[in-house]
Structure 1
Amino acid sequence: MIVAIPTLEERVSPVFDVARCVMVVELDGEREVRRQTLALHSPDPTRRVAALTEQAVNVLICGAVSRPLEALLSAAGVRVISQTCGPVEDVLRGFIAGRLSDGAFLMPGCCGGRRQCRRGGPGLRCRPGGPRRRRARRRNADGTGPKAAGA
């Protein structure tokens, strides 16, 4: 299995779309076979995907990633594990040990470990059972309330 992790100063880069380099690690079970740093010269999403597929990357572990780029990666057969943060070496060890869902590796505000808020779209917020639609704030029948005149 080949894993890619975008890096920024020894940490997982917060946004893959603008990351300048990725650490590419080949794993044989839990053993690291090969490691290299790959520069990402182009911001173009198709070139970013091509750079990873040329290295036969199976898994991308990243912070945030745009939906269009995530769709391209998935279409190319790359599994995306997003909403991940922390020191790159710790994240890699966490991945190998199957512990990436631990709170220590989740980006702040990431739905208590369920990694699902970003997929819900605008107007959603987290709750224990997952995302839900926000209730529209309406004026009361008597004209008072959040959208009342003068409020």
Structure 2
Amino acid sequence: MKRVEIFTDGSCSGNPGPGGWGAVLRYGSHEKRLSGGERETTNNRMELTGVIEALRQLREPCEVILTSDSRYVCDAITKGWAIGWQKRGWIKADKKPALNSDLWEILLGLLETHHVTVNWVKGHAGHPENELCDRMAVAETEKHKNGGTAT
């Protein structure tokens, strides 16, 4: 099984507001950078979208080391929250609706395909790939803030 490193970050100006995401995939000496955004979104949606879009690039099941500064994404995966929300019909333990169920549904499907190890890193703390993903996400946010579209 191929071993791929994925680094992601999301950004939002206002919450909700214009937002962006950035991702870096690394396989051996090969590196691919991805980014995108939306005109009206939330930070958590952008964090999830970055992970989804990165995993969608993989053409076969892989061993993935996912690094993110999003506690929301990391904890929901590693602590089993998202699977619990799904099993309860997208209702959280406190009986409130789970947000972003459309994206979680996609991500949980992708997590079934790959063997993913999740690493949380502190944001804005000098982690090179996290800083790069943050710059890409912020650039996409700025594009959408100014009425542009993502490329």
Q: TM-score, normalised by structure 1?
A: 0.35
Rg larger for: 1
Instruction: Give 1 or 2: higher strand fraction.
Output: 2
